Amino acid sequence: MSTKEWILSQHDGASLYQECFYDFEKHAVNPNPAVIQIENPGSFSITQEDLAGAGPYSQLVVEIPAERFDEIAIAWCKSRKLQGRLGGPVGLEWGSPDCDLE
């Protein structure tokens, strides 16, 4: 069984989640891929073609406001506890995913 583990949920644009399957260790970092769900994007394009000899090619390009992407990136880093890799706090400091204050 699985459920969506919302990392950042916005009702008016881009949101981020991971599918949460209950077969991985409870305190382990969710190993599933990140999913960005975008409602009413500024613009988007989908390209699909068959390149001769190279096989199928597809590309999805979606535009979202930079500020929204900042929110997604910060939420992802906090969710994955990556602040130590980014040179930031690594304990219970304000801004840490382990800190109770928001």
Q: What is the pLDDT of residues 12-64, one digit of tens each?
A: 788 999 988 766 565 567 788 899 988 888 899 999 998 888 888 999 999 88
Q: Give the pLDDT confidence score for residue 93 in this predicted structure.
A: 61
pTM above 0.85, yes or no: no
Residues 6+ apart with CB under 8 A from 86: 77
Read off the pLDDT of residues 61-89 as tens digits, 9 standing for 90 and up.
998 889 989 999 988 888 888 877 777 66
Q: Give the pLDDT confidence score for residue 79 in this predicted structure.
A: 86
* Tokens 């409870």 sit on residue: 26
Please name the helix (run of DSSP H) or strand (run of DSSP E) that holds residue 68, with its range, or none.
helix 66-79
How far is C-alpha 12 from the chain's CA centre? 16
| Angle, CA 69 vertex, CA 64 and CA 70 arms, to 5° | 150
Task: Copy the structure tokens of residue 13.
Answer: 């644009």
